[in-house]
């Protein structure tokens, strides 16, 4: 009856209920919906109290509430990912041609650009944004009754109970599921995957920043580093640290949620319950990482001079790949390799540049190697790749 609906709506004021007390009473029945229904029934009153929680089961309420909480969290995460992607886009465009050492297995490899590095970070963030958006738009209500058959609704006079989930979904702004999903946990697995991926995608940026902001590298810096309780000179990369911590915790939380896919029968004992804490933690961790990523990327400072100086740390050997190819055309492949191996050793022991040592070789008189020994001229197609990456919206 309309009167019952109005009475339940009036009584369902969140301020009326003591969440801590409900949590304490939840142990008796294994979930907080049971004491909540009892409290709501009392609040509605004797006349309309019997209409509270008709036909649904506790898991219907918990799962739907979980989807509503997840939707709100994903909306915030999505917005923060948009801001982070925009900040990284500005960094990539502004440093399109800023040469820096490319590092592989912790060592200098060949030159790259900071623009390409930032474009790569942005690409991962956009991947995460797209996944978050897809999962957000797919979050369903849960309404199946005691064993997923909607049977009780017919007892209460509903002619076609299969229409109820759709109406319920429209009221709440969620999706209508094809079937009740009490033990068909695709929505939870999708949440686990997109949240863990997002934390990891942001963790990639954080991991790189943590390397590049080391004192002995100092190619980037967080805009407002945190201090130390013992060392006044410290400006710690706090945002990157927090993101990196979240990225390491998220996969284990997601693993628990994936483990709950193996849920028995029409409603499970334990598998559903095991989801509650890890999903909550995963939403909080990833949400926090997304907000930290906004602060990190919008405040990140880049030292192009330090990047350029570091290109010379290996005495010019950072362009040995290019020189190998160019000298092979002049000296032959075997001799070129032999010569570069010898000069590489001398460059380190004598502290001289590879270009200087090459210029002294009689066999290379008249061979122009100025461009080939300039690391800023050996960034390949980094600029074009950056441009292509920035076309993605």
- Residues that are catalytic: 228, 267
Answer whether 222's CB lies under 8 Å from 299's CB: yes
CA distance linking residue 114 with residue 302, whole number of Å: 9
Q: Phi/psi of residue 220, each to 5°? A: -140, 165
Cβ neighbours of residue 194 under 8 Å, at least 6 residues apart?
A: 128, 131, 132, 134, 135
Report d(CA 107, CA 327) in Å as an integer: 24
Q: Are strands 107-113 and 99-104 parallel, antiparallel or unpaired?
A: antiparallel
Cβ neighbours, 10 Å, residue 265: 11
DSSP element (H, E) containing 301: strand 301-302
3-class secondary-structure state, position 41: helix
Among 352, 307, 325, 347, which residue's Cα sits nearest to residue 111? 307
Judge contact between 180 and 193, C-beta under 8 A. no
Of 135, 110, 47, 124, which is closest to residue 319 (Cα–Cα)?
A: 110
Q: Name the one residue in this structure whose structure tokens are 């270009």.
A: 355
> Percentages helix, strand, coil for the chain, rounded to the nearest 5?
65, 5, 30
226 vs 241: CA distance, rounded Å: 10
User: H-helix or E-strand containing 221?
Assistant: strand 220-221
In whole angstroms, how large is the CA radius of gyration of the chain?
30
CA distance 127 to 202: 11
| Residue 205 · residue 243 · CB < 8 Å | yes
Q: How far apart are CA 57 and CA 183, in angstroms?
A: 14
DSSP state, 141?
P
């Amino acid at each position: 009856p309309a009167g019952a609906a109005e009475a339940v709506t009036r009584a369902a004021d969140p301020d009326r209920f003591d969440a801590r007390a409900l949590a304490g009473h939840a142990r008796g029945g294994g979930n907080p919906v049971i004491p909540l229904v009892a409290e709501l029934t009392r609040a509605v009153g004797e006349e309309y109290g019997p209409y509270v929680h008709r036909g649904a089961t506790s898991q219907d309420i918990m799962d739907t509430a979980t989807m509503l909480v997840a939707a709100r969290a994903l909306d915030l995460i999505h917005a923060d990912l948009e801001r982070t992607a925009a900040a990284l886009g500005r960094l990539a465009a502004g440093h399109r041609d800023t040469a820096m050492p490319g590092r592989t297995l912790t060592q200098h490899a060949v030159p790259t650009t900071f623009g390409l590095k930032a474009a790569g970070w942005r690409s991962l963030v956009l991947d995460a944004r797209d996944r978050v958006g897809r999962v957000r738009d797919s979050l369903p209500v849960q309404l199946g009754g005691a064993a997923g058959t909607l049977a009780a609704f017919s007892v209460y006079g509903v002619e076609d109970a299969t229409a109820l989930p759709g109406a319920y979904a429209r009221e709440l702004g969620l999706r209508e599921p094809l079937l009740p999903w009490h033990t068909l946990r695709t929505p939870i697995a999708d949440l686990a995957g997109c949240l863990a991926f997002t934390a990891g995608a942001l963790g990639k940026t954080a991991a790189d920043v943590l390397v590049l902001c080391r004192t002995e590298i100092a190619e980037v810096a967080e805009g407002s580093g945190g201090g130390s309780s013992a060392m006044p000179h410290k400006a710690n990369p706090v945002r990157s640290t927090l993101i990196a911590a979240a990225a390491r915790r998220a996969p284990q939380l997601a693993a628990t949620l994936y483990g709950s896919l193996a849920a028995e029968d029409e409603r499970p004992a334990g598998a559903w319950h095991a989801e509650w804490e890890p999903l909550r933690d995963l939403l909080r961790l990833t949400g926090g990482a997304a907000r930290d990523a906004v602060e990190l990327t919008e405040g990140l400072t880049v030292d192009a001079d330090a990047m350029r100086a570091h290109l010379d740390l290996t005495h010019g050997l950072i362009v040995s790949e290019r020189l190998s190819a160019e000298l092979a055309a002049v000296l032959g492949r075997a001799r070129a390799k032999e010569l570069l191996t010898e000069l590489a050793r001398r460059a380190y022991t004598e502290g001289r540049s590879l270009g200087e040592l090459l210029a002294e070789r009689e066999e290379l008189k008249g061979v122009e190697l100025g461009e080939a020994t300039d690391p800023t001229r050996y960034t390949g197609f980094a600029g074009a790749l950056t441009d292509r990456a920035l076309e993605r919206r």
